[in-house]
């Protein structure tokens, strides 16, 4: 299992009239978590796209547990619990400054060849970077 944490400070623009982080922004927080998790092991969306592979979101699930507020420093924990194939499944948990679990979500992305918009297997170099996190001891 691969897990990565990144931090995000809530901006005024993230909030709604109730002073909570607007519900639609959680998908963006998931993306921040995914991008930073991949960057931490040496990969980026830009690199995949340069190689002709895109990763569109196929599914998004959200569970709002508690609100997040302006200027809070959030911890976004992103986990890949199983070795990807054609799809990659991310689990996202967001915590507030007090360490309270405030949001849970999941995203499913699919690896697709940009040339024909057809699903493809995980790029081999990305699979090789993830493999040590799934090796059985």
Which residue ranges form the domains of the chain, and what is each CATH number? Answer: 2-133 (3.10.129.10)
pLDDT digits (tens, 9 = 90+) for 72-85: 999 999 999 999 99
CA gap 29, 14 in Å, rounded: 10
User: Which position has the higher pLDDT, 94 or 17?
Assistant: 94
Q: How far is CA 108 from CA 19, 48, 79, in A?
A: 29, 17, 12
| pLDDT number for residue 11 | 93
| pLDDT number for residue 123 | 94
pLDDT digits (tens, 9 = 90+) for 32-45: 999 999 999 999 88
| pLDDT number for residue 137 | 59
């Amino acid at each position: 299992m691969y897990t990565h944490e990144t931090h995000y400070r809530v901006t005024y623009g993230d909030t709604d009239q109730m002073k909570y982080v607007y519900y639609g922004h959680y998908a963006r927080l998931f993306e921040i978590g995914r991008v930073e998790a991949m960057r931490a092991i040496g990969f980026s969306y830009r690199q995949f796209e340069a190689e002709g592979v895109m990763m569109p979101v196929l599914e998004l699930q959200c569970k709002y547990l508690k609100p997040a507020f302006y200027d809070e420093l959030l911890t976004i924990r992103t986990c890949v619990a199983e070795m990807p194939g054609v799809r990659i499944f991310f689990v996202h948990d967001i915590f507030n400054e007090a360490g309270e679990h405030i949001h849970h979500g999941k995203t499913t992305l699919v690896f697709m060849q940009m040339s024909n918009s057809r699903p493809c297997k995980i790029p081999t170099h990305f699979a090789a970077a993830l493999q040590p996190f799934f090796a059985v001891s």
